[in-house]
Amino acid sequence: KNEVEQSPQNLTAQEGEFITINCSYSVGISALHWLQQHPGGGIVSLFMLSSGKKKHGRLIATINIQEKHSSLHITASHPRDSAVYICAVTGNQFYFGTGTSLTVIP
């Protein structure tokens, strides 16, 4: 079993839709990260969370420490949001989810 599980693995949405990607983890953590990777591109850190909620533009990330669960929301999705979104946690080491591949269709 992976320490970090993401769902869904693949997601296709129409432009403008509200999108949610989920992440569950099984280890003790000091922080949770949401990362974005465009095809063939580098990895960009979107959020680092240890509690509560953070918002940046159309992106919102929440974490529930008790339930060991985090969600990444994208409001008013746009084709340029198409990317792989990766959940990672900082525990004894860094653990990564396998990613959610998002495609937003115009």
Partner 1 sequence: NAGVMQNPRHLVRRRGQEARLRCSPMKGHSHVYWYRQLPEEGLKFMVYLQKENIIDESGMPKERFSAEFPKEGPSILRIQQVVRGDSAAYFCLAGENTGELFFGEGSRLTVL
CB under 8 A: which stretch of 16-24, 26-34, 53-61, 62-70 binds partner 1?
A: 26-34
Interaction of residue 98 with partner 1, rule CB under 8 A: yes
51 binds partner 1 per the rule CB under 8 A = no
Start-to-end Cα distance in the chain: 36
User: How far apart (Å, rounded) are the C-alpha atoms in residues 98 and 106?
Assistant: 26
Q: Which of 31, 54, 68, 69 binds partner 1 (CB under 8 A)?
A: 31
Query: How far apart (Å, rounded) are the C-alpha atoms in residues 63 and 57?
Result: 18
- Residue 50 binds partner 1 (CB under 8 A): yes
